[in-house]
Chains A and B, each alone.
Chain A
Amino acid sequence: EPEVTQTPSHQVTQMGQEVILRCVPISNHLYFYWYRQILGQKVEFLVSFYNNEISEKSEIFDDQFSVERPDGSNFTLKIRSTKLEDSAMYFCASIHDSYIGYTFGSGTRLTVV
């Protein structure tokens, strides 16, 4: 079964540092997403991406965040200057074109110290 792959599985970074979280969506999928889950809380939508541009973003997705699909296979989330409150599990998801096809990666746990 095709998978969405995320790396690294766990990243520890110092406050103020830049981090890049990486995802490889399923190859024929067209829509890409980042979600995050602060420990013990809901999974929250961050951003969606289609046709090489952001389609929708939440209030959480401020100027510190950016996404990119640099080479047609990877999909990255960059946090420019991390804050303690950015500590969370970040999930990448992709779909082809149907509502039922959301596939999530296993997540990257980001810890900001």
Chain B
Amino acid sequence: GEDVEQSLFLSVREGDSSVINCTYTDSSSTYLYWYKQEPGAGLQLLTYIFSNMDMKQDQRLTVLLNKKDKHLSLRIADTQTGDSAIYFCAEYRSGNTGKLIFGQGTTLQVKP
């Protein structure tokens, strides 16, 4: 199939870790991305991972990639109320100019 899949909703308490999961379909994807969308705002690139990597850490963010299972996760440590947003997983699909294929987004709710 063509779809990138994510769970729709995650609720955590402030200070806890959040883990947002994603499965993708194209085993030849070279780059995978996480974007953040705050209410009424655009898409902000949070982080990305190249397909030859298993893990990437960037401050509070950790991305894990399991190529065998085509599974990508985003862990946010010490989640804050400002992290409340929709998080989109996206895979790069090659072509004439390439394009991003997005998941449906995971709404992260952070409770104080």
Contacts and interface: CB of A to CB of B under 8 A. Distances in A.
Interface of A: 31, 33, 35, 41-45, 48-50, 55-56, 91, 93, 99-100, 102-107
A104 B42 contact: yes
B61 interface: no
A105 B42 contact: yes
Contact of A91 (B30, B33, B43, B48): B43
Given A42-B105, A43-B102, A44-B102, 11 more contacts: A41-B104, A45-B99, A45-B100, A48-B97, A48-B99, A49-B97, A55-B96, A56-B96, A56-B97, A99-B92, A102-B45
Contacts of B90: 43
A104 B100 CA distance: 12
Prevailing SS type, chain A contact patch: strand
Contact of B43 (A99, A100, A104): A104
Contacts, number: 60
Nearest to A103: B45
Interface string B11-46: 000000000000000000011010100000111110
Nearest to A50: B97
A48 B54 CA distance: 30
Nearest to A30: B97
A56 B100 CA distance: 12
Contacts of A99: 30-31, 48, 92, 98
B42 A107 contact: yes
Given A42-B105, A44-B102, A91-B42, A31 B97 contact: yes
Between A50, A93, A99, the greatest number of chain B beta carbons within 10 A of the residue's beta carbon is seen for A99
A56 to B, nearest CB: 5
Given A42-B105, A91-B42, A106-B41, A100 B96 contact: no
B85 interface: no
Contacts of A41: 104
